[in-house]
Structure formats: structure tokens, C-alpha cells
Homo-oligomer: A and B are copies of this chain.
Amino acid sequence: MAAPQVDLSVQLAGLTLANPVLVASGTFGYGTEYGELVDVGRLGGLCTKAVTLHPRAGNPPPRICETSAGMLNAIGLQNPGVEVFISEKMPALRELGVPIIVNIAGESVADYVALAQRLSDCADIAALELNLSCPNVKRGGMQFGIDDELTERVVAAVREVTRLPLIAKLSPNVTDIVGIAEAARDGGADALSLINTLLAMSIDIDRRQPMLANVTGGLSGPAIRPVAVRMVWEVTQAVDLPIIGMGGITSAADALQFIMAGATAVAVGTANFVEPDVAGRIINDLEDFCQQAGVARVADLIGAAHSSSGTEGLQ
């Protein structure tokens, strides 16, 4: 008996992705760093490292350190700026043949608007991901993503100047993720990325100083997965926008948690550092899972865990 064909494609913000597995911003460079170790063409999509209006040197080292089932980073948005990005990085990205989602970060609403305008002129960009949530820069970054008015304002301003699909990437470092997600929707976002890193730190007890020169950094990796799944779950219930779920994904089982919690697609971040072709493995295993479970379209699993209700307790 030939295994039935599984339809892995998903629709997201007007895009059709061949499969729901992307690589997350900042963890896959500009698409070529892993060389031949990864068959990039198989990815559902690629989110670039954040691009800013002007070049940025980033934070001083040490910028990363390992923690239990996770890592901290405080890269500080090192990037060559949007002009160099367009002239030197986009040509290679274009050749990869997968949807390119450009992650943009600004210090002000005007920065985001200028970036969106500039990138709207550039061919072959599938969508913009507004990084409202970088915990590692002094100005801008997370400051937007923790305030619902600012979130709505920046998304709305960008919405006015571009026809590209807009994905708002939210910070988990908030009391009420649903409120922020609603603000992004009200501003006109077509989709949400959940979650960026958790603000965290580690101390080198021998040197009696923080492990990172930046003192704090963003926690990513398997450690944060349960927080991310919870946020996807909560937002799915309240906001009718497709979600790209991420945070600690290392396997198809992890990816399925996000999809069943309500994510339309997922992004693999930190795991790329450990296993460069992890996304390819996940795509294969997702297909196998669907085949074995008799699921014809992976899209049928989106939000699947919401249907059953919790057990009633005593009292």
C-alpha cells in the first residue's frame, strides 16, 4: 500500500508556504552561512537576521552563553544596514527559492516606516517581520512590544507605506500577551510571530560578574518552549490572525505542539546552531506523523488541541 500523499502546505498572511517550517530570525544569518549543510530550498520560509536603517556594530562580547536547555544572546542587532542588505545579501537570498521574510528593527516609528518603504521597492521579499521585541538594545526593540499603544502605532504606520504582508513579532516579556496581540491586529498586522526571547541573565560566579557584557540577554531554546506554547494558545483564542509559533522547537513533536496550540506555521531558532538541518528533519517527520495519523493536510491540525475541553475538577 503506497503511503497517501500528505499536503504540508499552509496559507499565511496571503502567502502559500510549501510547508509550515521556517527558520527564525537571527539564527540562520542571511541564508548562506550554513553552506551545503542545509538544503535551504526545502524550507517553508526563511526569516533574515534583523535589518536596521543604518549599520549597527552590535553589543560587545561575550554575547552568548549556555544555560539549562537554553542559551542567552545579546547580539544587539549587529547588521550592515538596509542598503547593504539589499545590495549584498538579497541577491543570494533571492536565489534560494524560498519565501524570504525580512525581519526589521527600528529605534522609532519613523525607522520602521523608512525600512518598510525601502524594502517595498526591493523585489522578491515575501513579507516583513516587525521585530517589536528585541530585548538587547537600549532604544527601540522590546520597548515597542511591551506597550500596546506603541505596538498599534508602529504597525499602523508601517501598514500605510507597504503592501507587503506584515508579521508582528511580539515579546513574551509582558503581563498580557493577548492585549499586545490585539493591538498588533488593530494596527493592521496580517500575522503574528510568537515568541521572541525571554529577558534573562546568568552570572559567572568565579569572576563575580554577568556572563554577558550586556548584562542581560534573551533566553531561547527548549527551556522556553512551554511559555511559547502557552502564549500561542492564549492568543489563538482571542485574536483571529495566523501565528508563526516559535521557541525551543527541536523536533516535529515540538512543532506539532505549536500547531495544535493554534500556530499556522512554526520557526526553528536555536536548534539550527546544534543541528543545522533540523528544519529538514522536522519537515520529514511532520509528513510521517500525518501519514501515520491519517491526516491528509497538516493544516487540519492547526488548533487541534482546542477542541477538547479540560476535565472538570472538584469544588
Q: Name A residues whose Cβ lies closer than 8 Å to a Cβ of B.
A: 56-61, 67-70, 72, 76, 146, 173-175, 198-203, 205, 207-210, 213-216, 219, 221-227, 229-230, 233, 248, 253, 256-257, 260-261, 289, 301, 304-305, 307-308, 310-315
Contact = CB atoms under 8 A, between A and B. Distances in A.
Nearest to A222: B68
A223 to B, nearest CB: 4
Q: Which of A199, A201, A222, A261 has the most CB of B within 10 A?
A: A201
Contact of A69 (B68, B202, B315): B68
A57 B310 CA distance: 17
Count of this chain's copies in the oligomeric assembly: 2
B314 A223 contact: no
Given A57-B313, A205-B289, 20 more contacts: A60-B311, A61-B311, A70-B223, A72-B226, A174-B174, A174-B175, A175-B175, A198-B226, A199-B227, A199-B230, A200-B227, A200-B230, A201-B261, A208-B308, A209-B308, A213-B311, A215-B310, A216-B233, A219-B226, A223-B224
A147 to B, nearest CB: 8
B257 A225 contact: no
A178 to B, nearest CB: 12
Contacts of A146: 175
B223 A69 contact: yes
Contact of A56 (B201, B213, B261, B315): B315
A89 to B, nearest CB: 21
Contact of A202 (B173, B214, B257): B257
Contacts of A233: 201, 215-216
